[in-house]
Chain A
Amino acid sequence: MTRPAASPCDLFRRGLLEQVRPTAASSADAAASPFHCDACRDWFASARRHAAALGGLTRMSVEFDGRVVAELNAGRRQDRAVAALRWMRRREVPLELDVLVRQELRRASLAADFDSGEDAIGQGLPEQSAPAELDRRVAAEFLAAALAGGGRPLKGLPRLSVPAELDARVGADLRRQGLAQDVPLRRWLVAAAALLTVAALGAMWQASERTGRPASRDFRVVRAASLSDLDPMARGLLSAQLGGAMELATAPRAEDRR
Chain B
Amino acid sequence: MIARAFSALALAAGLTVAACERVDVAVQNEGKNAGGGLTAGSESGGGSSLLAGNGQASAGAPSLIERIADSRRNVAFVGVRRIESHYVESGGNGAAHQLSLRERVSADGHGGFAIEALDVLDPQMSTHDRDLLLSLQSIRQGMNWRYRDFAIQDPELFEQNYTATATGANVVIAGVTCLELRIERIDQSGTLHMVAVDSTTGLVLASRETTLDGQPVSQMVFESLQLAPDLSGVVWHQRTNQEIALPITGDVTAQLGFEPLSPRFLPSGYQLIERARIQHPMDQTPWAKLTYSDGVDSLFFLHGGPLLAGNGVSSGTPAIQADLVVVAEAEPWTVAQGNLHGQRVIAMGKVGESSLLDLLRSAFP
Query: Cβ of A254 and Cβ of B316 under 8 Å apart?
Result: no
CA distance A37 to B282 in the complex (A): 40
Asked if A234 meets B335 with Cβ closer than 8 Å, knowing A1-B76, A217-B341, the reply is: yes
Given contacts A231-B314, A244-B137, are A49 and B131 in contact (CB under 8 A)? yes
Identify B325's interface contact among A9, A220, A232, A241, CB under 8 A: A220
Given A83-B309, A233-B302: A53 touches B128 (CB 8 Å cut-off):
yes
Residue in A9, A57, A228, A233 whose CB lies within 8 Å of B280: A233
B281–A233 CB distance below 8 A: yes
Quick one: given A231-B314, A242-B333, A254-B128, are A224 and B234 in contact (CB under 8 Å)?
A: no
Q: Please state if B140 and A9 are interface contacts (CB–CB under 8 Å).
A: no
A11 to chain B minimum Cβ distance, whole angstroms, is: 11
12 more A-B residue pairs beyond the given contacts A42-B233, A217-B341, with a C-beta to C-beta distance below 8 A:
A3-B112, A39-B233, A52-B127, A227-B328, A230-B326, A230-B328, A234-B346, A240-B143, A242-B87, A243-B99, A246-B97, A254-B126
Q: A87-B257, A231-B315, A245-B87 are in contact. Are A219 and B92 (CB under 8 A)?
A: no
User: Contact flags (1/0) for A72-114 with B, using CB distance below 8 Å?
Assistant: 0000000100010011110000000000000000000000000
Chain B binding surface, main DSSP class: mixed
Contact A50 B138 (CB under 8 A): yes
| Residues of chain B whose beta carbon lies under 8 Å from any beta carbon of chain A | 76, 83, 85-87, 89-92, 95, 97-99, 101, 104, 108-110, 112, 116, 123, 126-129, 131-138, 140, 143-144, 147-148, 218, 231-236, 253-254, 257, 280-282, 285-287, 298, 300, 302, 304, 308-309, 313-316, 323-328, 330, 333, 335-338, 340-341, 346, 348, 353, 357, 360-361
Flag if A245 contacts B86 (CB, 8 Å). Answer: yes
**Interface pair B333/A241, CB less than 8 Å apart:** yes
Q: Is A247 a contact partner of B136 (Cβ separation < 8 A)?
A: yes
* Nearest-neighbor residue (CB-CB) of B348 within chain A: A238
Asked if A245 and B132 sit within 8 Å, CB to CB, the answer is no
Contact residues in A for B346 (Cβ distance below 8 Å): 231, 233-234, 237
**A contacts, CB < 8 Å to B:** 1-4, 7-9, 37-40, 42-43, 46, 49-50, 52-54, 56-57, 79, 83, 86-89, 217-234, 236-249, 251, 253-254
**Within 8 Å CB of A88, what residues of B?**
257
Most buried by B among A3, A52, A242, A244: A244
Contact A227 B136 (CB under 8 A): no
- Cα separation A240 to B136 with both chains bound (whole Å): 10
For B109, B302, B330, B357, the residue with the greatest tally of chain A CB atoms inside 10 Å of its CB is B330
CB pair B89–A227 under 8 Å, yes or no, is: yes
| Inter-chain contact A244/B85, CB cutoff 8 Å | yes
**Would you list the 5 A-B pairs with minimal beta carbon distance, nearest first?**
A39-B233, A240-B143, A243-B85, A229-B316, A224-B328
Which among A39, A40, A79, A242 has the greatest number of chain B C-beta atoms within 10 A?
Answer: A242
B326 near A224 with CB under 8 A, answer yes
Residue of B nearest to A243 (CB): B85
Bound CA span A140–B177, Å: 65
Cross-chain contact of B91 among A218, A225, A249 (Cβ < 8 A): A225
A–B complex contacts, Cβ < 8 Å, 8 sampled: A3-B108, A219-B338, A222-B327, A229-B316, A230-B337, A232-B282, A238-B333, A244-B140
The answer to whether A83 touches B323 (Cβ under 8 A) is no
Q: A219–B340 contact, CB under 8 A?
A: yes
Give the docked Cα–Cα distance between A233 and B347 (Å). 11
Q: Which residues of B contact A239 (CB under 8 A)?
A: 140
Pairwise interchain contact A254-B129, C-beta atoms closer than 8 A: yes
| Residue pair B143, A228 in contact (C-beta under 8 Å) | no
CB-CB under 8 A for A245 and B98, given A221-B327, A233-B346, A253-B129 = yes
Q: CA separation between A7 and B234, bound complex, in Å?
A: 10
Question: How far apart sit A94 and B309, CA to CA, in the bound complex (Å)?
Answer: 32
Which residues of A sit under 8 angstroms from B109, Cβ to Cβ? 1
- Nearest CB on B from A108, distance (A): 35
- Residue pair A219, B324 in contact (C-beta under 8 Å): yes
Chain A residues within an 8 Å CB radius of B116: 42, 46
Q: Is the CB of A249 within 8 A of B97?
A: yes
Q: What's the Cα separation between A232 and B147 when bound, in Å?
A: 18
Bound Cα distance from A28 to B176, whole angstroms: 39
The chain B residue with its CB closest to the CB of A47 is: B235
Q: Are B281 and A243 in contact (CB under 8 A)?
A: no
Q: A residues within 8 A CB of B233?
A: 7, 9, 37-40, 42-43
